[in-house]
Structure 1
Amino acid sequence: MPRITKQDKARNRQNILEAASRMFRSQGIDAVGIAELMKEAGLTHGGFYNHFASKNDLAVEVCGASYAASLGVLARTIEDGPDQDGSPLERVVAGYLSTTHRDTPDGGCPSASLATDAGRHSEAVQSAYAEGVEGYLTGFAAEFLREAEEKGHEIDPAEARHRAIRLFSEMVGALMLARAVRNVEPELSDEILQTGRDHALD
């Protein structure tokens, strides 16, 4: 039997991470069994422990990788600056509270999709989640400070952080509510998203 190469092993590990990222966010960490996960990744059940010591270790990596991707989008949006669709933060809010983001819980920001799971799991998972949240707050606060300076206003860094916490909390909460009622009250779900988009930056 041919030996697996380092490249094959790395690819298999990445397949597991990607499958877990989709499944954990759409179904919840506890709802996904290792056998089901490995099948989704196109691998055998027994191979899981060649890559991860436990499901908890996998959850930590999934949380970190998901936030890295999401924060990368945030950073690029801020770097692009204002455009015809508004300021960076206006575009972030519009994308976050869009029907597309609502309807794809297996992708996008893990803040809403993993919020309940993070609180129920190990401190390592919670730490990875908290680090991701902090990334959003830091990015938002810096942009509030930059916008104020650009307009000739002066705000205290503490006030910028308070605004960042409020904004992110409203975004995540609105998305969670919109997803929770989407199937039974689609008009309410749309209304929640629309209200969030219209007033998050008031």
Structure 2
Amino acid sequence: MRVTEEIVAKNHERILETAANLFRLQGIKQTSLSDVMSQSGMTHGGFYRHFKSKNHLVAAALQKCMDKTIADLSPERNMPAGQELLNAFLEQYLCDRHLHNPHDGCAVVALSNEVYRSDDAIRDVYTDGIVRWIEVLSNLLVGDKVVRRRTAMQIISTLVGTMMVARAVNDDALSQEFMGVAIDRVDEILMPERQEIQ
């Protein structure tokens, strides 16, 4: 039976989705191509019909994850733009669901230390995603462009660093405390912004 282009595209997307989940959950190095293909319901031999190498898959999966983070801050989500959208994003980022579900969370939190040791193609995707995240976040803010960019970078650093530590410790109360402090810190960062809006 001839495999249609539609089936090929669906299989490709399934491999990509599975890889993105496994990389965030287990790490890039710890996830084999056999893991990805078996969890996708396909044989290992079929992998190379879709991707040239594991590095090619990592770059594509990372792109998918970064696109999702950007989309969560986009007004096209049928949410109000500006402060309300930013507040909704912050609430979903610093929450128990994100803390306990790394497979479905921010790739920057899950994969930064491995991306640092990866090839340039993977680091290029990561860097582009970070730059886009800064731009999209700064566009939700008001005021001077340089100040908005710095504020966006402060928020991203606070969110990512907090979630990395909150996941790494094996004390749930401490994880919750870190997230609470981060919420307070982001409020402090945004205080001049919110005063300007009022």
TM-score exceeds 0.5 = yes
Tell me if 1:87 matches 2:84: yes
Task: Provide, for residues 49-107 of structure 1, a one-character-per-residue CA deviation record: whole Å limited to 9, x for no partner.
Answer: 1110000001111111111122111113695137xxx7332222221111111111001
Counterpart of 2:52 in structure 1 is 53
Moved over 2 A (4+): 76-79, 86-91
Q: Which amino acid aligns with 1:156?
A: D
- Partner of 1:114, secondary structure, is helix
* Deviation for aligned residue 1:139: 1.5
Tell me if 1:106 matches 2:92: no
Whole-Å separation in 2 of the counterparts to 1:164 and 1:116: 21
Whole-Å separation in 2 of the counterparts to 1:142 and 1:110: 22
Unaligned runs of 5+ in 1: 146-154
Q: Which amino acid aligns with 1:192?
A: F
Alignment check: 8 A CA contact 1:19 1:37 kept:
yes
Give the alignment's TM-score, normalised by structure 2.
0.89
Alignment of 1:72-151 (within 5 A): 72-76=71-75, 80-81=80-81, 87-145=84-142
Alignment check: 8 A CA contact 2:93 2:159 kept:
yes
Whole-Å separation in 2 of the counterparts to 1:78 and 1:94: 17
Task: Provide, for residues 31-64 of structure 1, a one-character-per-residue CA deviation record: whole Å limited to 9, x for no partner.
Answer: 1011111000000011101110000001111111
- Partner of 1:198, secondary structure, is helix
Counterpart of 1:149 in structure 2 is none
Q: Which amino acid aligns with 1:80?
A: P
- Partner of 1:74, secondary structure, is coil
RMSD between superposed Cα atoms in Å: 1.6
% same residue: 29
* Deviation for aligned residue 1:130: 1.0
- Partner of 1:168, secondary structure, is helix
Number of equivalent positions: 187
* Deviation for aligned residue 1:3: 2.4
Task: Provide, for residues 85-142 of structure 1, a one-character-per-residue CA deviation record: whole Å limited to 9, x for no partner.
Answer: x733222222111111111100132111121121111111111111111111112212
Whole-Å separation in 1 of the counterparts to 2:164 and 2:78: 24
* Deviation for aligned residue 1:201: 2.9
Alignment match of 1:185 (pick from 157, 161, 171): 171
